[in-house]
Structure formats: C-alpha cells, structure tokens
Amino acid sequence: MSTATASTVTETASTVTETALPAPKARKSRYQTYASVLSQTDKPVARRRELPIGRNGLMKKPTKYHLNDDEIAELKARYKETKRFPNPHNKGFYYYIVEALVELGLNEKHTQTSVMKRVEKMMSDPETIRDEGKDATTAWERWKNKEPRNKETGKDWEARFDQNITVLQRVEGNGVTPYGLKIMNVGQKVMGKKGAVIDILVADTGTRYLRLNTNSDSPINESKIRGKGSPAAIKAERAERRAAKAAVKPRKEKVVVPAVEVEAAPQIEADVPAATEEVTA
C-alpha cells in the first residue's frame, strides 16, 4: 500500500472515530394516566406488576386510588341510612381533612384555619392515643411532629397541611396518582351528583378558604398562578366552552320579507237607470 493510500485510510478512520452518534431519544412511557394502570390496581398488591411510573421512570407497583364495586355498594348503603357524605378514606390524615369539611358544612367555604382547628380536635381524641405515660401521643401530635424525609427540603406542618389539600385536588386525568379520585367517586357513583372535589379559594385579603364541593367535577385552586384549576385556566376553559357552544348553535338570522306592491282594483261604475218622471194626472 502506498503512503498516500495509507494516509487516506488513516484520515478516514480518524473521521469515523471522532464523529459522535446522536443520542437515542428517550422513550415516553405509555403509563401516563390512571386509566393506563387501572388493570393492575384492581389486583391484590402482591399480584400487581411493577411499572415505570416512579420518578425518573423508577419501577414501582401502582397504588389503587378509586373505589371498587364493593366499596361503592357499602358507601351507598351508609349514605342511604345517614344522608351524610360518606368518607371514603381510612383513618389517616386524608380522612380527617374530609371529615372536617363534612362537619363544617358541604358546599360552603370555610377558612383554612377553621378546618385546621377541626382536624386538630378530631386527631387529638383520646381514642387516637398510642403508647403510655410520657411516650403517649395523639394522632395530631404524631402527624405534626413527624420528621421530614429530607431535613433540607422538608416542610413544616403548616406547609404539609397545604400540600395535602392540594394533593387531594388530583382527580382522574392528573397522572397515575389521582389522590382525590375516591372523593370524586363518592360524589358521582354514591350520591349521584356531578362530582365531588375540594376547592381552594382565596379572598382579596389573602385569606384561604376550603370547600367540599359536591356540584363540580373540576377542583378550583385560586392560590395557583397557572395550570389546571387556577383562575386563568378556569377563565380560559369557560371561554373555550362558550366558543364551542357558539360554533355549534346556529345563529337565527332575521328574515326580511320584501314589500309587495298590490295594485288597487279598478273601480267599476254601475249603470243607474234614469229616474222616471212622475206623471200628474
């Protein structure tokens, strides 16, 4: 092989080596909604498959957030007997939030402070006490003093209260963790309403209000600047609905009937016989 040929081969090889291949595109997971994992959540936990639904595609078993047929039947029976919003949660923090809003009044706004106080009262019940003596604690004390997972980014108990309320606004369509879906199921499948959601309302003074709304299937969050549930998003959604309605509904056009000139009928003079002269005898 000549020197020139060898040089060409070397340069070509060098070029191939230095050329970087494009990075492969990350595959988008097909598990983007709760409906996409529903078949797994209906199974017992031990039989559920791990799916790439955690942060950064972490494999984990999906959690059940909806009410099954047996649970719906049980809550229907309870609602029929008591005529009271049946709490779908087990006795954890979500249970007490829902219970506080029910006790304070459905479809009415209540200051977040008053809801906090009602939750504290219920979670401080002697029945929630664990251990004895100086180690005895109520459910409220255990929740309030819970150690954060990360000391640097962990929230205090008031911030965690806010976070829990916001999490309960997640309904079907908000990824694979719709924490508020059981509340929605109660509204729609148990009570026969449009839905049931927790609204976060903010007064001009900045005071936050909470409302358990059984006349809605879309939660409001006036504390958000943008995104689903924010005032801007709600305004845009209403405008979109009005535009769609206007596009479907035919406009009633005013029909103008042209004036028609009607010719007058010709007048016909009748022949009147001449008067007969009276003959005087």
Residue 79 lies in a domain: yes
Residues 90 and 163 in one domain: yes
What is the end-to-end Cα distance of the chain in Å, rounded? Answer: 166
CA dihedral 91, 97, 101, 103 (to 10 degrees): 40
Residues 150 and 50 in one domain: no
Enter the pTM of the model. 0.72
Pair type for strands 208-213 and 110-111? antiparallel
Number of structural domains (the chain) is: 2
What pLDDT, on a 0 to 100 scale, did the predictor assign at position 18? 53
- Contact by Cβ (8 Å): 222, 232: no
Residues 105 and 42 in one domain: no
Residue 247 lies in a domain: no
Residue 212 lies in a domain: no
Residue 160 lies in a domain: yes
Residue 14 lies in a domain: no
Question: Which residue bears the tokens 């009415």?
Answer: 108
d(CA 101, CA 92): 15
Residue 130 lies in a domain: yes
Domain boundary (193, 227, 258) is at 193
User: Residue 110 is inside which H or E element, if any?
Assistant: strand 110-111
Domain boundary (193, 215, 230) is at 193
Residues 57 and 118 in one domain: no
The DSSP output letter for 180 is T
- Contact by Cβ (8 Å): 103, 81: no
Residues 57 and 157 in one domain: no
Residues 111 and 47 in one domain: no
Exposure string of 247-269, with b = 16+ CB inside 10 Å and e = fewer, is eeeeeeeeeeeeeeeeeeeeeee
- Contact by Cβ (8 Å): 202, 168: no
Residue 52's φ and ψ, nearest 5 degrees, are -80, 65
User: Residue 39 is inside which H or E element, if any?
Assistant: helix 38-41
Domain boundary (193, 224, 241) is at 193
d(CA 180, CA 221): 14
What pLDDT, on a 0 to 100 scale, did the predictor assign at position 148? 83
Residue 78 lies in a domain: yes
What pLDDT, on a 0 to 100 scale, did the predictor assign at position 126? 96
Residues 60 and 72 in one domain: no
pLDDT tens for each residue of the chain, 281 residues long: 555 554 444 444 444 455 556 655 555 678 889 999 999 998 999 999 999 999 888 999 999 999 999 999 999 999 999 999 999 999 999 999 999 999 999 999 999 999 999 999 999 999 999 999 889 999 999 999 998 878 777 789 999 999 999 999 999 876 899 999 999 999 999 999 999 999 999 999 999 999 999 999 999 999 987 566 566 666 666 677 677 777 776 666 666 666 666 565 555 555 545 544 444 44
What pLDDT, on a 0 to 100 scale, did the predictor assign at position 124? 97
Residues 187 and 79 in one domain: yes
Domain span including residue 75: 68-193
Residues 189 and 77 in one domain: yes
Token readout for 241 is 């609905």
Taking CA atoms, 204 is separated from 207, 209, 222, 251, 258, in Å, by 7, 11, 11, 39, 57
Residues 85 and 135 in one domain: yes
Residues 99 and 41 in one domain: no
Residues 97 and 136 in one domain: yes
